[in-house]
């Protein structure tokens, strides 16, 4: 039993905490996700920048919200509102398994999940995603699971 406990503790030390893992693999800047946009706002009407005073830290990742109500909504069900693939470009994750930055205002909600996309310099990957969403999503799920093992 002592050996099992020691092995578990050692594996946790080697892997780092779940919060550290998320900060390593999620698309964050200064620990802040979605460039400070309110994740709940995507589901309400359109992306809205959050306010620093309405923040919440979920497993190491900081989220800003436009209102206390949105913060409370997120806190009740964070898995619903967190962007897929740690907030990286869904198309790139499906196409090549790469972590590519996103434009937080280029997004799609599909099957109740938020997907973000690269949209810079005349390249909008949401257009490409829409041409083969089922195939790209399956690849993206597989690639993300290989990158981010909980």
Rounded to the nearest integer, the mean pLDDT of the chain is 89
The answer to whether 50 and 65 are in contact (CB under 8 A) is: yes
User: Residue 114 and residue 8: Cα distance in Å, rounded?
Assistant: 34
Say what the pLDDT of residue 23 is: 83
pLDDT at residue 93 in the model: 98
**44-72 pLDDT, tens digit each:** 989 999 999 999 999 999 999 999 999 99
Beta strands in 35-128 (DSSP E): 51-58, 61-65, 103-110, 113-117, 119-120, 123-124
Residue with tokens 């041409």: 131
User: Per residue in 73-105, pLDDT tens?
Assistant: 999 999 999 999 999 999 999 999 999 999 999
**18 or 93: which leads in pLDDT:** 93
Give the pLDDT confidence score for residue 12 in this predicted structure.
44
Q: What is the pLDDT of residue 16?
A: 60
The tens digit of pLDDT for each residue in 100-150 reads 999 999 999 999 999 999 999 999 999 999 999 999 999 999 999 999 875
Identify the pLDDT of residue 4: 39
43, burial (CB in 10 Å: exposed 0-12, middle 13-18, buried 19+): middle
């Amino acid at each position: 039993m002592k050996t099992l406990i020691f092995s578990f503790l050692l594996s946790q030390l080697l892997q780092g905490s779940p919060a550290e893992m998320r900060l390593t693999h999620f698309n964050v800047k200064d620990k802040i996700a979605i460039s400070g946009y309110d994740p709940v706002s995507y589901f309400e009407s359109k992306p809205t920048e959050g306010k620093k005073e309405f923040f919440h830290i979920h497993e190491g990742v900081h989220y800003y919200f436009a209102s206390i109500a949105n913060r409370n909504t997120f806190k009740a069900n964070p898995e619903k509102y967190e962007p897929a693939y740690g907030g990286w470009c869904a198309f790139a994750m499906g196409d090549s398994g790469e972590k590519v930055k996103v434009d937080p205002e280029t997004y799609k909600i599909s099957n109740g999940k938020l997907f973000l996309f690269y949209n810079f310099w005349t390249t909008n990957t949401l257009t490409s995603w829409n041409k083969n969403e089922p195939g790209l999503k399956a690849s993206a799920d597989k690639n993300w699971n290989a990158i981010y093992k909980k």
